[in-house]
């Protein structure tokens, strides 16, 4: 029987608003970006335009209701509804962020205490970057979805080749299972990277931590052994695997956008 690898951390905890002071999730550490200094637009910012937006006082998906130097985003004063906010930098999917103002209009800062990145708001998967981006990240306060706020896109990054693009510098392309509206989706998403290469331990106090593994590596266990970083590979041939290692599949198989992934072992 072919041996199978088990992903250490397959539950996405990245849908948490950076400023929300989020609870712990399965990826390890607090799902809070740290930087919770987000604030409503400055008092001297030009007033929002009069509008007939679907959502009041502004609409996130259409960016209706805010002036040209602002973005419509989550109202951070109470995490209820929308509000116009400042744009300090026009961050997109390849931008790390410390607060929502680090992201452009139509984007939100999501992450954990290790680091956050800008995510695109979406109404459907067609709004996300193909072929791996999916409109399945529900934005939460760390525990519950924030009412009336759109979903965000997962990344279009390639788990076995983060150098192909899609993530901020210093981030890796992780592999996750995201549950959205009762259905599980295989997704890739960006997260801060560690330094662990092939065979490096990624276990701390008997708990796996994928953040210890370098880009293109995943914290896994094979046949119940210790958790180690292993090179992510594309099956069945596994051209990414070094030396005499083979591309070992997951059980169940992990397929994303028509490509099956495994790890070198």
Phi, then psi, of 102 in degrees rounded to 5: -80, -5
What DSSP state is assigned to residue 253? E
Backbone φ/ψ region at 166: left (φ over 0), alpha (ψ -120 to 50), beta: left
Is the pLDDT reported for residue 262 higher than 60? yes
The token pair at 17 is 């608003």
**Whole-model pTM over 0.75:** yes
Phi, then psi, of 112 in degrees rounded to 5: -140, -175
Give the C-alpha separation, 196 to 223, whole Å.
21
pLDDT score for 253: 92
Q: How confident is the model at residue 114 (pLDDT cuts 50, 70, 90)?
A: confident
Highest mean pLDDT among 38-47, 121-130, 201-210: 121-130
Is the pLDDT reported for residue 21 higher than 80? no
The token pair at 89 is 């930098």
Sole residue written with tokens 């080749």: 161
Indicate if the alpha-carbon torsion angle 148, 109, 17, 66 is positive or negative.
negative
- Cβ neighbours for 194, distance < 8 A, ≥ 6 positions apart: 202, 211, 212, 213, 214
Q: How confident is the model at residue 259 (pLDDT cuts 50, 70, 90)?
A: very high
Strand partners, 16: 140
């Amino acid at each position: 029987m072919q041996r199978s690898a088990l992903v250490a951390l397959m539950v996405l905890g990245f849908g948490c608003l950076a400023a929300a002071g989020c609870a712990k999730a399965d990826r390890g550490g607090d799902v809070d970006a740290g930087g919770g200094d987000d604030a409503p637009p400055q008092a001297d910012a030009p007033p929002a335009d009069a509008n007939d937006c679907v959502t009041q006082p502004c609409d996130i998906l259409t960016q209706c209701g805010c002036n040209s130097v602002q973005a419509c985003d989550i109202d951070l004063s109470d995490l209820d509804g929308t509000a116009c906010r400042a744009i300090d930098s026009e961050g997109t999917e390849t931008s790390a962020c410390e607060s929502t103002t680090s992201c452009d209009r139509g984007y939100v800062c999501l992450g954990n205490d290790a680091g956050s990145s800008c995510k695109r708001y979406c109404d459907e998967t067609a709004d996300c970057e193909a072929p791996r981006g999916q409109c399945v990240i529900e934005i939460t306060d760390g525990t519950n979805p924030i009412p009336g706020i759109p979903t965000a896109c997962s990344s279009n990054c390639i788990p076995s080749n983060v150098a192909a693009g899609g993530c901020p510098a210093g981030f890796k392309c992780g592999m996750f299972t995201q549950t959205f509206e009762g259905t599980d989706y295989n997704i890739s998403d960006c997260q801060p990277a560690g330094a662990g290469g092939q065979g490096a331990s990624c276990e701390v106090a008997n708990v796996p931590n994928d953040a210890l593994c370098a880009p293109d590596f995943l914290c896994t266990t094979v046949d119940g052994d210790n958790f180690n970083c292993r090179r992510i590979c594309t099956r069945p041939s596994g051209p990414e695997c070094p030396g005499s290692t083979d591309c070992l599949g997951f059980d169940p198989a992990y397929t994303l956008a028509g490509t099956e992934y495994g790890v070198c072992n």
